[in-house]
Amino acid sequence: MRHHPHRRRIVALATGALLTAGLALAAPASAAAPAAVRSATPLVVNARWGGHCTYDRIVVDLQGSVPPFTVTPVSQLVYDGSGKPVPLPGKYFLEIRLHPAAGHDDAGNNVYQGPRLQQINLSKLKGLALTGDYEGYVTFGAAFDTQPAYSTSVLHAPERLVVDVAHPNTC
């Protein structure tokens, strides 16, 4: 019977690779990535808007990546935490919620420099408010006189969440 040292080396390397992979899969996620590699909570630093020929645009500027978000029609706008109504005129409202996100740094200092409550007179968009920076959620409310038809997109360098609200051509 002949021994094959080359075959033994391959089996040993394959066994080592499988054991290493098994250990990496068994480790908790926090142990698998060093602290320097883990991403920090995205920071919401501004919100702005603009009118265009066929749409009004809301832009949320971020430091870090754009986190998961939802844009939801709601019957009224309320401030997170208190539940108090947001004093923006309108009949239709969108809630824009980012999570995980913050408008403040780890020391509690505000990094959000945009408007807190702003009446706007664009074709569709009539108001925008920061309605929450609470427990890892940053929420905005947008107000409209007519039901908004909207789409969302993410732009990079710098990172931005965009909500476009369609309207008839005004140009």
**Order of all β-strands in the sheet with 43-51:** 43-51, 55-63, 160-166, 150-155
- Lowest average pLDDT, out of 19-33, 85-99, 147-161, goes to 19-33
Give the pLDDT confidence score for residue 149 in this predicted structure. 98
**56-65 residue pLDDT tens:** 999 999 999 9
What is the band of 3 on the pLDDT scale with cuts at 50, 70, 90? very low
Give the pLDDT confidence score for residue 97 in this predicted structure. 98
pLDDT at 25 exceeding the cut of 70: no
Neighbours of 111 (CB within 10 A): 14
Question: Which among 68, 63, 94, 113 is positioned nearest to 166, based on CA atoms?
Answer: 94
In Å, how far from its chain's centre is CA 96? 9
Give the pLDDT confidence score for residue 35 in this predicted structure. 37
Average pLDDT over residues 128-141: 97
Give the pLDDT confidence score for residue 79 in this predicted structure. 97
pLDDT at 113 exceeding the cut of 90: yes
pLDDT at 119 exceeding the cut of 70: yes
Give the pLDDT confidence score for residue 56 in this predicted structure. 98
Question: Which among 71, 39, 67 is positioned nearest to 58, based on CA atoms?
Answer: 71
**84-105 residue pLDDT tens:** 999 999 999 999 999 999 999 9
- Contact between 100 and 82 under an 8 Å Cβ cutoff? The reply is no
Give the pLDDT confidence score for residue 20 in this predicted structure. 38
Percentage of the chain modeled with pLDDT above 90: 76
**Mean per-residue pLDDT of the chain:** 84
